[in-house]
Every structure is written in structure tokens, then in C-alpha cells.
Amino acid sequence: MSLPLPQEIIRLKRDGHPLAAAQIDAFVDGLVTGGWSDAQAAALAMAIVLRGMDAAETVALTQAMTRSGDVLRWDDLGDHPPIVDKHSTGGVGDKVSLMLAPIVAACGGWVPMVSGRGLGHTGGTLDKLESLPGYRTQLTRNELVATLRSAGCAIVGASPTVAPADRRLYAIRDVTATVESTALITASILSKKLAAGLQALVMDVKTGDGAFAATPEHARELALSLVRVAEGAGLPTRALITDMNQVLGHTAGNALEVQEALDYLRGTRRDARLHTLTRTLCAELLVLGGLAADAAEAGTRVDRALHSGEALERFERMVHAQGGPADVGTRGRLPRAPVQRVVPALHGGWVQAMAVRELGVLVVTLGGGRHTAGDTIDPRVGLSEVCQLGDRREAGEPLAIVHAATDAAAAEAVAQVQRLITLGEAPLPQRPVVFEVLHRGSASE
């Protein structure tokens, strides 16, 4: 039977009609085989942006994109722990994955976490881990299984053979102003997670100045879509809507964030908001994956994994299994920037606001991210000791510390941070870091 013509499928969606599963399959097949041109794929993407997709269409698109490439199977391993994972929509200073994966592993799960690189103003988990000398983000399946058996977790990059339809479609969307579609974002994220053969997933959907979803309404729309579609595709999922109106933790920058994660796992320093978010995500995943009966038991297990040092040990095993140093827990071996400059407050006051997105862009400008895909990252640069909303600073006291490659770059960054952090006369009320948890019941609202 011949496939439906691309122009007919485009016309249907352009005119606001839902697409049948067979038509969506034809589109995805055309992305992989080249049967659809870039112009045709872009036209359908634009039609989806303007007309939207219902839940059934989005499930069909997600599943078709998952089937477009390799899907990990775990059946041949016999009895194994629950296969679980977490995904974040991205933020500034978001190093939660570095702690969550070994904590959940220490609690009995297997976490084959497929992560990404920095995108725009947000940092990438793979870029952070590559601050560690020798760390490899590409593993064969046998190497992945061996790492899971040893450490219980592995943080890797996506193989080119995983969801290739999404890879091509995303590149087209990136240059045709068609990124902003809840359906397309949902299918892009979940197709890769379904390809990992997961049994449970938690999503961290961020909202605020430093997030893709700037408003709570947009974040909730995306979170509900992710839960509905994942559940529709057979993957139990919960989504947390979380705050990104300030840097998460006290660092932003690749090696600096790895160091903060190590300090967290060691117990030498744990930022309160970062700890609340990490503990909540871990607990939700343990319950969803059947590793704890309820949130109270899950929280107790997370605390035990941290206090006993087992979570740190799991992180060390993972790093060593993936080519990094064996003693990362005791000797971080992380590169340090040659220039460090304190950012003094220009006047006294309470920290009332920060331009989080622009702070993320500043880290990229220092060399901690990419302007183009081929750029080399400087893992040393970034910000540490970043103040938090509600903190009090007197004139001359530090708002942050800039880590830079040159004196000139440091001086420019100091002036930028002073401009991007606002001090006022009144303290702010404390904002929660977790606004809402959405689950299967929420998806029926």
C-alpha cells in the first residue's frame, strides 16, 4: 500500500484536522528515509505549531518517533532492578541529575540516564561530566549494562540510532521557528525516554525567568502533556513544576557544578533549595518505580543513601566505569579557572530579583557553553557563591565569584553580574522550589 502524500497530510493539519496514526507513521517514516523534504517537514511542523495536536495524535507521534530507531530491551538480563529515569526541561545551575542518579541507584534502582549537552543559556549534564578527565559519554550496550551492574547508574549521550526521526525534525524546527509546540516538545522528550526501555520516569518542568516555560501556565500545560502522553504510551510518569527564578544551588558552570554535586554527595555542603528538589524528585521516582511504598519511606531511603555514603560511592563507581578517575570522591581532579574575581554589591539591600536567563548567557559568554555546535567548552569558567533571592548584602559584600580565563573576561563578567542581580530595601517572602506534582490523576483534569 502506498504511503499518503506529504502534501495531503500537511493540508489536513493546516486546515485543523487531526491526523490518523497511519498518517503520522508516514511522516516519521519520511523523516528517516528522506521521503519527506526539509521544506515539507517544516511545513507540517508549522501547521502543528499553529493548529496543535490532541493527546491521541501526540501519543502516536511519540511512539512512531520511538520506533524510528533502536529501543533498549532489558528482557535478556533476567531479573534486574526497576529501570527508572528523570528528565529536566533545563535551567541555570541545574545539576540535580548528578546527584539523583547515584542516590536512586543506592536505593535499588537502575538509572540508564540519557542526557544532553548545553542548549542556549542552559547547561548540559554531559558537558558537566566531561569536566572530569577521561569521562566517556558514549557506551556500547555491553558497557552500559556493565556500568549499571557495577554502579546502578550511567549518564550517557544518546546514540545516533536512538529516535533518528526526532534528531532530524529537531534540526529542522531549530531553524524554522517551530520549536514552541507543546506536542512536538513532548514527543521529542518522550521518544528518547521510551527508547531507553524505562519502567518509571519523573519530569522536572521548570518555570520562571531561566526556564523554557516562562509562565506557570505554560509549564503546567507542558507538564500535563508529558504525563498524559507518557501514560498513554505505557510509561508511568510524574511531573514536578519547579522554580527557575534564581540559580539552582550556588554554582553555574560545568566543573563548578560537578564540584557542588560532589560536596552535596559528601555531605560537606548542601544548598537547601537544591536539596529539597533533589530529595523530592528521588522520592517520587522511588515510589513510582516500586522501590518505596510511599513518600515517607522514600524520603527515609534517600536520607540513608546520602548519610551512609553509598550514593557518593555509586557516583565514584559510575565515573570510573565510564573512564573517569577512580578517586573522584576524595580528589575531584576538576580544572580550575586561572582568574577568580569577587562580585561586590554596589550598595546594601536584599536580593530581590536576578535575570537568570542572562546569567546563563553570561556563563556561555565566558566560554562555558556553545554559540555554535562545533564550539569548544572551557569547563573551568562560570559563577560560584551565587547569592539567593531574599539574601541580605551590604555594600562591598559578594554577590558571586566569577571564574574566568582572562582578567578582561572577569572584569566584564563582574560588571554584568552587578547589573543582573537586583538589590532592594525590603526582604522577599520565601518561594517554594516545588510548586506542584502532577500524576496520572492530574492528567484527567
Give residue 97's Cα distance to chain centre.
8
Note whether residue 144 is domain-resident: yes
Least confident of 172-186, 271-285, 407-421: 172-186
Query: Of residues 85, 209, 243, 271, which has the active-site annotation?
Result: 85
Among this protein's residues, is 192 annotated catalytic? Answer: yes
Could you report the per-residue pLDDT of 425-439, keeping only the tens digit for each? 988 888 899 999 998
One-letter amino acid for residue 78 of the chain: G
One-letter amino acid for residue 192 of the chain: K
pLDDT at 430 (0 to 100): 86
Among this protein's residues, is 125 annotated catalytic? Answer: yes
Query: Of residues 66, 68, 97, 125, which has the active-site annotation?
Result: 125
Note whether residue 143 is domain-resident: yes
Residue 441 pLDDT > 70, yes or no? no
- Same domain for 205 and 266? yes
Among this protein's residues, is 442 annotated catalytic? Answer: no
Could you report the per-residue pLDDT of 282-337, keeping only the tens digit for each? 999 999 999 999 999 999 999 999 999 999 999 999 999 999 998 887 776 799 99
Could you report the per-residue pLDDT of 354-377, keeping only the tens digit for each? 999 999 999 999 999 877 667 789
List the CATH number of the domain containing 306. 3.40.1030.10
Note whether residue 65 is domain-resident: no
Cβ-contact 311, 103 below 8 angstroms: yes
Note whether residue 64 is domain-resident: no
The chain-wide mean pLDDT, for the chain, equals: 93
**What backbone phi and psi angles, to 5 degrees, belong to 189?**
-65, -50
Note whether residue 208 is domain-resident: yes
- Same domain for 19 and 157? no
Query: 248 pLDDT band (50/70/90 cuts)?
Result: very high
What order of strands is seen across the sheet that includes strand 200-207?
84-88, 200-207, 237-243, 434-438
pLDDT at 147 (0 to 100): 97
Query: Among 139, 118, 113, which residue's Cα sits nearest to residue 378?
Result: 118
Cβ-contact 168, 32 below 8 angstroms: yes
- Same domain for 406 and 303? no
Note whether residue 101 is domain-resident: yes
Residue 348 pLDDT > 70, yes or no? yes
Residue 280 pLDDT > 70, yes or no? yes
Looking at residues 220-242, what average pLDDT do you find? 95
Query: Of residues 67, 117, 128, 193, which has the active-site annotation?
Result: 193
For residue 393, give Cα distances in angstroms to 94, 344, 397: 24, 9, 6
Query: Of residues 68, 147, 159, 188, which has the active-site annotation?
Result: 188
Looking at residues 331-360, what average pLDDT do you find? 94
- Same domain for 270 and 166? yes
Looking at residues 236-246, what average pLDDT do you find? 96
What proportion of the chain, given as a percentage, has pLDDT over 70?
96
Query: 120 pLDDT band (50/70/90 cuts)?
Result: low
Residue 246 pLDDT > 70, yes or no? yes
- Same domain for 211 and 251? yes
- Same domain for 123 and 16? no
Secondary structure (DSSP) of 24-80? HHHHHHHHHHS-S-HHHHHHHHHHHHHH---HHHHHHHHHHHHHTS-----GGG-S-
pLDDT at 332 (0 to 100): 65
pLDDT at 190 (0 to 100): 94
Cβ-contact 35, 28 below 8 angstroms: no
Could you report the per-residue pLDDT of 123-168, keeping only the tens digit for each? 689 999 999 999 999 999 999 999 999 999 999 988 888 899 998 9
Looking at residues 386-404, what average pLDDT do you find? 97
Query: 119 pLDDT band (50/70/90 cuts)?
Result: low
Q: Which domain holds residue 411?
A: 339-424
Query: 14 pLDDT band (50/70/90 cuts)?
Result: very high
Cβ-contact 221, 52 below 8 angstroms: no
- Same domain for 227 and 248? yes
List the CATH number of the domain containing 395. 3.90.1170.30
CA distance 139 to 430: 43
- Same domain for 206 and 313? yes
- Same domain for 145 and 240? yes
| Confidence (pTM) | 0.92
pLDDT at 443 (0 to 100): 52
Among this protein's residues, is 137 annotated catalytic? Answer: no
- Same domain for 290 and 391? no
Q: 77 or 17: whose pLDDT is higher?
A: 17
Query: Of residues 95, 173, 301, 403, which has the active-site annotation?
Result: 173
Query: Of residues 13, 67, 87, 250, which has the active-site annotation?
Result: 87
CA distance 117 to 341: 27
Number of domains forming the structure of the chain: 3
Note whether residue 67 is domain-resident: no
- Same domain for 162 and 42? no
Least confident of 102-111, 178-187, 391-400: 178-187
Note whether residue 203 is domain-resident: yes
pLDDT at 118 (0 to 100): 61
Looking at residues 402-409, what average pLDDT do you find? 98
CA distance 129 to 379: 9
- Same domain for 275 and 375? no
Query: Of residues 13, 95, 192, 250, which has the active-site annotation?
Result: 192
Could you report the per-residue pLDDT of 249-265, keeping only the tens digit for each? 999 999 999 999 999 99
Could you report the per-residue pLDDT of 171-230, keeping only the tens digit for each? 898 788 888 899 999 999 999 999 999 999 999 999 999 888 889 999 999 999 999 999
Among this protein's residues, is 85 annotated catalytic? Answer: yes
